Amino acid sequence: MTASWIAIARKDVADATRSRMLWGFTLVFVAFLGMALPVAGELFPDVVTVSPAKALAGVAMLAQLFIPGIAIVAGYMAVVGERRTGSLRVLLGAPFTRGRVLAGKLVGRLVVTLVALTTGFAVAAALVVALYGAPTAAAFGGFVATGLLLGVVFTGLAVGGSAATATRGHAMTATIGSFMGMVFFWQPLAAGAYAAVTGGLPGRIAEPWYFLLKRVNPLEAYRVLTEAALDERVDAVPQFPLEDVPRHAPLEQLAMTNRLAGPVPFYLQDWFAALILLAWAVIPVLVGYHRFRTTDLG
Amino acid sequence: MPVIDTTNLTKRYGAVTAVDGLDLTVEAGEVFGFLGPNGAGKSTTIDMLLDYTRPTAGSATILGRDVHAHAAELRYDVGVLPEGFGLYDRLTGRRHLEAAIRWHDAADDPATLLDRVGLDGTDADRRVGQYSKGMCQRLALAMALVGDPELLILDEPSSGLDPHGIQTMRRLVRAAADRGTTVFFSSHILAEVEAVADRVAILADGDLVAVDRVDELRQRVGSGTTIRLHVPGAVPGTVTDIDGVDSVTRTGTVLEVTTSDPAAKADVVTELRTAGVEIQDLAAEGPSLEEVFTAYTQEVSA
């Protein structure tokens, strides 16, 4: 018999909720919403009447940056922080396995991220209702669910990265670096791969595997799923002009389903995007666990 | 069954061998001192016993169980004071102790444990961030005592402690031993090991130089202490006859007396004073670790 991870999680929540940085980030997110939502119409390129769903799509656009930011801040020091201060030696001096320590840390930080996000979403919901009326329950429920799932993904990435590295600097590089890569390099790399294989940039009609390549990025998977939930377009942030598509093509032509020559393959269905997000929620934690379990805690 | 048993325990970091094929056995009920200078591989060995680091070769068991495979469950029976441990600055000492008791599923009374390590109630209610190094060391020791373990593993337990704290530590180690607890502790100070250990292992550069009983160690190293006295006047020959005095040499005004019995030091001073000899200055020094190593390595090569 060994001690349970619950003790670690409980202590961790108490510890992490004292972090000023986390609440600062949440506050910035809420403040951003407060500024952006009243002028949500300006977020769209055309003059539009802002429906509740459109307003949520605007929130989702910002959330692509804020959710990972909050989750990474909440999670990246989870394990490596205890390792640097030496308190990990105290925890492992008690009857905890390394796996239990990691599990407790992960659960603790998930609770923290999800509480912070729920706070943010509650404020967002109140603002949307006040300004643009109530969204449908399905749209709002889907919006919250995809947002929380993205929070889970990046908390897993942050805690996994924290477990896999020996210094704070390396943990930051691994977690923030991964996020930066997803934001800035994924689209160019996908377009580059497309050019390398086909000899040209992706056009308005492109090969289906190109869309999959983009979608393996958890931020893109989140975007796709949120679009499906809201039935509204959610722009990628930032959007690189790397595709050879007409500048003023109607939005409908730019919908992914209208950019395929053939039928939509299974891997471009919405459920597959959900699967991609779930895989991202699990794999970094497993990698972190493997490295943490086998490393020397010198 | 030995409490600690290592077989060819080895740790290499690249080309550097930190611990080289250590075979060590610690029996139940003994206080075992692990002596060596800083960098000898003491902490590396203890880290392997605690499964913080993994051996390059060899293995170790505690209470008959492999230290890696059974690391977590062994903690119910092993109290640990690791090197380089850290506490939670924002939590009070009492909180720490309560957490440790909960983690171990133990029924200890925090007040009793605090009392045993010499922390009072006011200390316990302060945040650990305000603690001195010595107080942290005492608190960590209290946490190690949770659950009344069969074995205590203490890595440099006296580091950061003032003389009073060192006394408390010695008293605690002896008290634990009297209750039947096996104690394995490391130190780079010979006097400390001599004061509390039953047996001692001497480690240098990752190699085990010797394992010996402390009384035999004392004998082999020969003289306990050398006293240097600054005496301008004549010295009576009776000093050589004092029990425990091994040799007396005079160089100019400096009298060097080597003793094998700690009590002899005071006797020498008393003898000189009663003979009316003026002592202008006095210094005593125990054998250094180097002298201990020399004593053992020469024996081996002879």
Tell me: the pLDDT tens digits for A218-249?
999 999 999 999 999 898 888 888 888 887 77
Residue A185 pLDDT greater than 60, yes or no: yes
What's the gap in Å between the CA of A87 and the closest CA on chain B?
4
Could you tell me the pTM of the whole model?
0.86
Higher-confidence position of B293 and B149: B149
Residue A1 contacts B where some CB pair is shorter than 8 Å:
yes
Task: Give the separation between CA B141 and CA B166, rounded to whole angstroms.
Answer: 12
Higher-confidence position of B250 and A80: A80
What amino acid is encoded at A52 in this protein?
P
Task: Convert the pLDDT of each residue in B214-265 to its tens digit.
Answer: 888 877 776 567 888 888 878 888 888 888 888 888 888 888 888 877 677 7
Minimal Cβ distance to B85: which of A1, A3, A86? A86
Residue A37 pLDDT greater than 60, yes or no: yes
User: Would the CB atoms of B52 and A296 count as touching at under 8 Å?
Assistant: yes
Instruction: Please state which of the ranges A94-98, A127-131, B23-27, B159-163 shows the lowest mean pLDDT.
Output: B159-163
Question: Do residues B81 and B152 make contact, with C-beta atoms less than 8 angstroms apart?
Answer: yes
Q: Interface of chain B against chain A, CB under 8 Å?
A: 47, 50-54, 71-73, 75-76, 80-82, 84-88, 90, 99-100, 102-105, 140, 143-144
User: Would the CB atoms of A89 and B84 count as touching at under 8 Å?
Assistant: yes
| B16 bridge partner residues | B13
Task: Give the separation between CA B116 and CA B109, rounded to whole angstroms.
Answer: 11
Quick count: other Cβ atoms within 10 Å of Cβ B206? 22
B263: CB partners within 8 A, 6+ apart: B244
Residue with tokens 């060596």: B36
pLDDT for res A7: 84
Average pLDDT over residues A6-30: 79
Question: Do residues A203 and A243 make contact, with C-beta atoms less than 8 angstroms apart?
Answer: yes
Question: Do residues B250 and B232 make contact, with C-beta atoms less than 8 angstroms apart?
Answer: no
Average pLDDT over residues B155-184: 90
A266: its two tokens: 């299974």
Mean pLDDT comparison of A25-29, B90-94, B230-234, highest-scoring range: B90-94
What amino acid is encoded at B31 in this protein?
V
**Alpha-carbon Rg for chain A in angstroms:** 21
Mean pLDDT comparison of A52-56, A131-135, B142-146, highest-scoring range: B142-146
> How far does Cα B160 stand from its chain's mean position?
13
Task: Give the separation between CA A106 and CA A109, rounded to whole angstroms.
Answer: 5
Residue A266 pLDDT greater than 50, yes or no: yes
Cβ-Cβ contacts under 8 Å, B102 against chain A = 7
Residue A298 contacts B where some CB pair is shorter than 8 Å:
yes
Cβ-Cβ contacts under 8 Å, B90 against chain A = 15, 18
pLDDT for res B27: 96
Residues 179-238 of A with CB under 8 A from B: none
Closest among B227, B166, B184, B202 to B289, alpha carbons compared = B202
Residues 258-297 of A with CB under 8 A from B: 294, 296-297
B265: its two tokens: 């030091």
Residue B302 pLDDT greater than 60, yes or no: no
User: Would the CB atoms of A89 and B53 count as touching at under 8 Å?
Assistant: no
Cβ-Cβ contacts under 8 Å, A19 against chain B = none
User: Would the CB atoms of A3 and B105 count as touching at under 8 Å?
Assistant: yes
